[in-house]
Copies of this chain bind each other. A is one copy, B any other.
Amino acid sequence: MEFSQRILDTPSSFIRNILKVTDSPNVISFAGGLPNPISFPVEKLRESVNRAIDEDGSKLFQYSTTTGYAPLRQYIADKYNHNFDLGITADDIIITTGSQQALTLLGQVLVNEGDGIIIEEPGYLGAIQAFMLAQPTFYPVTLEQDGLNLDELKEALEKPNAKFIYTVPNFQNPTGLTYTQEKRDAVYDILKDYPDIVLIEDDPYGELRFEGTALPYIGGGRLPNSVILGSFSKTVAPGMRIGFIISKNKELMTHVETAKQAADLHTNIFSQYVLHDYLTHNEYKEHVEKIIDLYGKQANAMLDALEKYMPEGVTWTKPEGGMFIWATLPDNKSALDMFSKAMEADIAFVPGDPFYTGSQHVPTLRLNYTASTPEVIDEGIKRLAELFKKY
């Protein structure tokens, strides 16, 4: 049996692969990217299932429209108009099977083999994997403390056949970094002269801000080729796989709809009804506040432990929200080499390599704080610091 070039070129997920070893009960794992299950509103969702079945019965279980459950799309439109003044309607939204599916659909719809994708370096590895299926050329642009490096961005925009830019503007995965207002405006100013290049702002963590104030999107609401991706995975429940694409570009959305028909006809409508019922019968804002409080404490516990234990030369980001801290080892030490030693000491993280489209044996690593208690975080960072001192 011969396989396609696109699948031979596409790496399987490093994180999903190491989960098999990092999942052992002895291991303190900062490797995952899982929301804390104590944040899932299980009983409220149960109530919503029962109420939605009472109200709509068999409609929850029938085939449905490809674009998604209209009242859920309306809820999302209202929320984004209220929070960000985007001026969108329900028709500017397609519900996807998690925002991961949105990444694959956009790659399929926009990219011919060899076309350019401009991506943050380091960038979200799930996006790299999804885009690989379209066999692109990646143009990485360094993600600095305040956002994309502008000179590199300008250079990348001049590359032949660059089709879109992929960004995670808030509490980025893997770095936890957030674009400043100044950097958002500077990126916008550059992009407004490239009306054919799509700006994708993937924002699954935006609501989980425990410090500072929410900032407007870079392109959302003001660039004609703006695409915003959102998700309920980090605020309600990832297991239901409900994300969405927002774009006012009708032609793009028509093609995305066709690609989604081919991909899975439509997103699980049972879960869409349940989620919509949940959102409209509960104090969603209060629920999110609880998650923010939880993650803020966990982030602080990790930052305190890093400060307390880490040897000189190790540096790290200070996230204002989201789920991740990004650490850098001194002397260009390979974090991937350190990974197997860490596993021997029953402590896990994600080495930086899979977040880069070019570089290997980078000295960076991703630490997740949302899946461990402050006590476990302290113990884990202590073990990690001892290791970094030793090698």
Contact = CB atoms under 8 A, between A and B. Distances in A.
A162 to B, nearest CB: 11
Nearest to A256: B7
A100 B267 CA distance: 12
A268 B265 CA distance: 14
A359 interface: no
A58 B46 contact: no
A42 B57 contact: yes
Interface stretch (A80-88, A236-244, A286-294, A307-315): A236-244
Given A262-B10, A266-B241, A268-B241, A1 B252 contact: yes
B268 A7 contact: no
Given A16-B261, A133-B259, A259-B10, A225 B1 contact: yes
Given A34-B62, A238-B63, A239-B62, A262 B133 contact: yes
A151 B271 CA distance: 47
A53 B61 contact: no
A215 interface: no
B100 A262 contact: yes
B255 A3 contact: yes
A270 interface: yes
Contacts of A120: none
A60 B3 contact: no
B61 A240 contact: yes
Contacts of A34: 62-63
A12 B271 CA distance: 25
Interface on chain A toward B: helix, strand, loop, or mixed SS? Answer: helix
B37 A62 contact: yes
A112 to B, nearest CB: 5
Contacts of A38: 58
A255 B11 CA distance: 10
B46 A42 contact: no
Interface centre among A1, A42, A113, A266 (most CB of B within 10 A): A1
21 contacts: A1-B110, A1-B196, A2-B196, A4-B112, A7-B259, A10-B262, A12-B261, A34-B63, A35-B63, A42-B53, A42-B57, A42-B58, A49-B49, A98-B264, A129-B261, A237-B270, A239-B270, A240-B268, A241-B264, A241-B265, A264-B264
